[in-house]
């Protein structure tokens, strides 16, 4: 099984990136997770969507080839980041690469709510016709106080979160089999 992670922060020390890297490492024997960079994606522009830049085509091809998508979202101003919104706009047009593809959402922030508002919006977005991505129900991953949950090397150190994620990932793999 091949999963792509779409991380809505391009910050070098991003907690959301570290969360994606934790999933990549811990479940490496269960599925391959490729973390896609959003750094090289140009701004979405409807004037060029039919002749999109190579960076967009490469990014969308990787998403299309995956069996599932892991969305790892920061919370910016009570919603998803513009970086993530931009990637979503590209994915929602012309070749709709997440159409029918199973998704799971996670998010990390230093606050107590762990991106709850951003995830609420992202769930709605995935329901839009340009996305139409079925989302793992009943498993919501809010990593709050993220600055206390990773060590200096970026490893997740919070045992309760690690155990919780084990269960969520197990649930995701069972649920997503109906789609692949
Ligand atoms: C533009 C901006 C807006 C933010 N708005 C929120 C917010 O609404 N809620 C929140 O919990 N954190 C907010 N934050 C703090 C982010 O959660 C924090 O910077 C987090 O570390 C970003 O994710 P990252 O570590 O993956 O880059 C904001 C940060 C930025 C840069």
Please state which CATH number belongs to domain 2-176: 3.40.50.360
Domain boundaries, the chain: 2-176
> With bands split at pLDDT 50, 70 and 90, how would you rate the model's confidence at 123?
very high
Q: How far is CA 118 from CA 27, 67, 163, in A?
A: 25, 24, 24
Average pLDDT over residues 141-160: 97
Residue 37 CB neighbour total at 10 angstroms:
12
pLDDT at 122 over 90: yes
Do the Cβ atoms of 69 and 3 come closer than 8 Å? yes
Instruction: Tell me the CA–centroid distance for residue 106 and ligand 1, in Å.
Output: 14
- CA of 77, closest atom in ligand 1: 8
Question: CA geometry: angle at 103 spanning 101 and 109, to 5°?
Answer: 150
pLDDT, one tens digit per residue, over 58-111 is 999 999 999 999 999 999 999 999 999 999 999 999 999 999 999 999 999 999
Position with higher pLDDT, 79 vs 180: 79
For ligand 1, is residue 25 a contact (CB within 6 Å)? no
Could you tell me if 56 and 90 are in contact, meaning their C-beta atoms sit under 8 angstroms apart?
Answer: yes
Q: Whose CA is nearest to atom 6 of ligand 1?
A: 76
Ordered alpha helix ranges (H), 5-133 = 15-26, 54-65, 82-91, 116-126
Whether the CB of 78 sits within 6 Å of ligand 1: yes
The two three-digit tokens of residue 82, written as one number: 């513009």
- What is the whole-number distance in angstroms between the Cα of residue 14 and the centre of ligand 1? 10
Q: How many DSSP H helices and E strands does the chain contain?
A: 5, 5
Please determine, for residue 180, whether its predicted confidence score (pLDDT) is greater than 90. no
Mutate-to-test residue for ligand 1 from 7, 75, 107, highest number of ligand atoms within 8 A of CB: 75
pLDDT of residue 82: 98
Assign 3-class secondary structure to 87-108.
HHHHHCCCCCCCCCCCEEEEEE
* pTM exceeds 0.85 for this model: yes
Q: Which atom of ligand 1 is nearest to the CA of 146?
A: 21
Ligand 1 pocket test target in 76, 107, 141, 146 with most atoms within 8 Å of CB: 76
Burial class for 173, CB neighbours closer than 10 Å (0-12, 13-18, 19+): middle
Mind listing the pLDDT tens digit for each residue in 8-62? 999 999 999 999 999 999 999 999 999 999 999 999 999 999 999 999 999 999 9
């Amino acid at each position: 099984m091949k999963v792509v992670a779409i991380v809505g922060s391009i910050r070098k020390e991003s907690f959301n990136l570290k969360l994606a890297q934790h999933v990549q490492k811990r479940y490496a024997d269960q599925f391959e997770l490729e973390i896609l960079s959003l750094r090289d994606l140009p701004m979405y522009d409807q004037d060029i969507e039919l002749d999109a830049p190579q960076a967009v085509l490469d990014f969308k091809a990787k998403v299309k080839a995956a069996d599932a998508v892991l969305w790892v979202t920061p919370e910016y101003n009570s919603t998803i980041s513009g970086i993530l919104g931009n990637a979503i706009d590209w994915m929602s047009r012309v070749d709709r690469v997440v159409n029918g593809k199973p998704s799971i959402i996670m998010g990390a922030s230093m606050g107590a709510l762990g991106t709850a508002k951003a995830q609420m919006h992202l769930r709605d977005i995935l329901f839009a016709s340009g996305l139409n991505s079925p989302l793992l129900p009943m498993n919501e991953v809010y990593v709050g106080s993220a600055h206390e949950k990773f060590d200096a090397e970026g490893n997740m150190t919070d045992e309760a979160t690690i155990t919780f994620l084990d269960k969520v990932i197990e649930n995701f793999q069972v649920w997503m089999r109906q789609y692949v």
